[in-house]
Each structure stands twice: as C-alpha cells, then as structure tokens.
Chains A and B, each alone.
Chain A
Amino acid sequence: MAETRLDDLIDGLAGRLVPVRRLRPPLLRAVFWLAGLVALASAFYVGLGGNAGLMGTRAYVLPAFLAALATAVLAAIAAFQLSVPDRSDRWVLLPLPTAALWLAFSGLGCLADLGVAGTWGESFVEMRQCLLVILGSAIPLSLLMVLMLRRARPERFGRVALVAGIASAAAAGAVLMLVHPHTSTVLDLLVHGLCVAAVIGLNVVFGGRLLGRTQEREPA
C-alpha cells in the first residue's frame, strides 16, 4: 500500500522533471554577492566624494572598517553555505568573532573621543547622509542576497536569513566608514546599532518568509 503510494509519487515527480541548472559552489556565489557590494561601495564613494585617506587618522576607524568588511565577507560565505542542505549548521558561527570585533572597535572609537567636542552627536544633515548610505546599501544588498539564496530553496531559511542580515548590515557599516570615515559618536553608535538591528530583523522576518515560501511550493 505504502510502496504503491511512493511509486506513484516517484512516477509523478519523474514525469514533472525538467533539466535544472546546477547551483554554483557557495563560495563562488558569495563572491558574486561581494562583487555587488564592491560596485555599490564604489558608486557611493564616487557619488558622495569619500575620502578613505582620513580613515587612518581617526581612532579605531580603520580596524572597525576592516572588522565590518570581514564580517560581511564571512557572513555572506556562511549564508550561501547554509543554504545548501549538506553543509554544517556550524557555519552560522563563522561571522560572530569579527562581528564582535566590529562592535568592539566602534565602541572603543567612541570612548577614545569622549570629552572631545562633537562626541555626543553631529549635525542633522550629516546624520541624514549617514542614514542614506546605510539604508541605501543595506536594502539593495539584502534584496540581492535573498534573490540569490532563493534559488537554493534553503531548508534552514530562518538561520540563512539571520546570517544574510548580518552580512548586509556589516556591508552597509563598511560602506559608511569608507564614504564617511569619522570616529563614531554616541549618537552614531545608537543610530547605527538601531539600523543594524533593523536590517537584521527585516531580513529575518521578510527574508525568512520569502525563503520559507520556496520550501512550500514545487519548482516551476
């Protein structure tokens, strides 16, 4: 009885089989996404007239930038690895050490400048530009990541969406430091922290839902 049911199912699936394009290895797919990040960062840098040379002159900005960039790279690799069924769940841990460094350097930069004028905040115009850069990079990078991940129809979609969110948020942080290399103010830290949390949260909620839906329907 059960065998007949399974036979029928297999016949049905085989009957609907169409050639599929094999997914490229996760590492290569991560490189494609990172190419998108480089293109976006270049556009912002040229468009907003960034001055990366300032990075070395401000406390902890260069280490924070490198840690954010490393977090984006490692989180992207982890997301694409986790989207494939036979890769370990432990890939989720890959971006955590550099993410901790990123937060630590941002915080240290802020502490180092305590007492200096302008530590507690900056002009409204400057803040608006920061927000524009963060959201302007995080949103397209998140969309690109989710679109690329959808092809794998990931089973662990919640975890994949979380790591994808970390990748996009860290990438946005790195782009901001590249375009606008200044030591984080207290207000900066708060706003960036909120933005990062929002990007990760939105990825988990909407990205997770979008990726989860790919598990429910059959391929076209």
Chain B
Amino acid sequence: MPPPADSLVLGSLGGATVGAAGKVPYNDRRPSGVGAVVIAHTPVDADAGLAALMAAAQGGDQAAYRRVLHESIPLIRHAARRAGVPPSGVDDVVQEVLLAIHRMLATFDPSRPYEAWLSAIARRRAIDFLRSSGRRASREVHEPVAYENHADDIDVAAGEERRRENIRLGEAVATLPEGQREAVQVLGYGERSLEEGAALTGRSKTALKVNLHRAIRNLRSRLSGSD
C-alpha cells in the first residue's frame, strides 16, 4: 500500500519550486480531500512528483489521481498540438487521453518517466484523431461562406504551455552530463557558431558537435521519447 500522495510528493520534490512562478496551479481551484489540501500548494512540475502521484493513484488514492490528471492536461495539449491537432480538436484529444490513462493505469511503472508514458499515449490518440477527422473532412461539403464567417480558433492556453515546456526543457538540460550541457548552452541557447563555441569552451569543434548531437538525443528521449 503506497503512502498518501501528499507525503510522496513532498518527499520526492524536496520542496522544489520549479515552475511555480507565482501562478496558482490549475487544480488549486478544486481541492478535494485532505490530501489535496496539503499537496495543492506544492508545485508538481517535476516528473518524479507526477510519477509518485501516479503510484499513489494506482493504490487507489483519488485525490492524487485527480491531481495527476489535472497536471497532465497541459502536457497532453502540448503533445496534441505538436502532432498537428488543430486547437478546436485539442480538448477532444485530451478527453480521449484521460480515458486511456484510466484504462491503462496498471501499465505505468513509477520507476520510469511519467511524461514519456503520457506523451506516448497522447501522440497515438492525436494521430487517431487526425485520421478520423481526415476521414470526416473527406465526407463533408466545402462551404466557403461559412468558412469565411467562422471565427478563428484562439489558442488561449498556448502561452502557458510554452512556459511549462521551457521549464521542462530547462530541467532536462540541467540533468545532462557537463560536456553535453555546455554544448547546448553555447550552441543552442547562445546561438554561437562552432568556431566561436570551440574558442569559448576550449573544446574542439568535433567534440562540441558530438556533445550537441548526444545532448539532443538524450533530451528527445527524456522529454517525449521511448526506448
């Protein structure tokens, strides 16, 4: 029987404040249960925290489950958008993914990254959505006037999700080995050329290139990847 979600989250995050940025987390508006009151003020941006919440949910902790599902919504939206789902369809994908999480709850292994597990499900649901909407579109009649009069979809959540994405990327970069982190900082964030990077770091251009390549591969598997 896993310990209650609040102790797991506090324990695993160790009071981390990454991603708090003064913004009240989405689910803070709907605290429910004793556990949720305690964990509601603990930002759960770190993947380990989400994995711990999922472990608690597997043990039947409803408050932890509610919280991890709420925290998953921005990640699912991001994955759906990356797969090319239009803003009007993103929430349909979110709904499908939440149901899929519920069905496949037993398959999550808390020793592995939660985000990789979630984004694999989200990616497939997004592709399913695009396939089915493609089939629907092929059966629908083109109506230019209605199209012109239809208001554009405004994606209000995109800014917040970009911010979260940047935080996740920053966290992932911080966990890279030193050489790889240096390559990302100099060549990626710093937008330096290989020559400039080599001069700044004292490493050869080849070493920088290899480090950057390895860093990108590591980041890809850390953020959305699979093995």
A residues apposed to B, CB below 8 Å: 2, 5-7, 9-11, 13-23, 25, 83-89, 151-153, 155-156, 214-215, 218-219
| A-B residue pair count with CB separations less than 8 angstroms | 91
Of all chain B residues, the one with the shortest Cβ separation from A7 is B30
Q: How far is the CB of B183 from chain A (nearest CB, A)?
A: 25
CB of B194 closer than 8 Å to a CB of A: no
CB of B99 closer than 8 Å to a CB of A: yes
Most B CB contacts (10 A, CB to CB) among A23, A86, A151 go to: A86
Instruction: Number of B interface residues at 8 Å Cβ cutoff, please give it.
Output: 36
27 contacts between A and B (CB under 8 A): A2-B91, A5-B95, A10-B66, A10-B70, A13-B99, A14-B62, A14-B65, A14-B69, A15-B62, A17-B57, A17-B65, A22-B58, A22-B106, A22-B108, A22-B109, A23-B107, A23-B109, A84-B107, A86-B112, A88-B227, A89-B226, A152-B106, A153-B107, A155-B100, A218-B99, A218-B102, A218-B103
In Å, the complex CA distance between A10 and B70 comes to: 8
* B105 near A9: Cβ-Cβ < 8 Å: no
* B120 near A85: Cβ-Cβ < 8 Å: yes
Q: Determine the chain A residues whose CB is within 8 A of the CB of B58 once the complex forms.
A: 19-20, 22
Q: How far is the CB of A27 from chain B (nearest CB, A)?
A: 12
Q: A5-B95, A15-B62 are in contact. Are A219 and B105 (CB under 8 A)?
A: yes
Q: A6-B91, A6-B95, A20-B58 are in contact. Are A88 and B104 (CB under 8 A)?
A: no
* A5 near B105: Cβ-Cβ < 8 Å: no
> Main SS of the interface on chain A?
loop
Q: Determine the chain B residues whose CB is within 8 A of the CB of A218 once the complex forms.
A: 99, 102-103
Of all chain A residues, the one with the shortest Cβ separation from B33 is A14
* B109 near A219: Cβ-Cβ < 8 Å: no
CB of B84 closer than 8 Å to a CB of A: no
Contact of A20 among B69, B106, B116 (CB under 8 A): B106
Of all chain B residues, the one with the shortest Cβ separation from A156 is B124
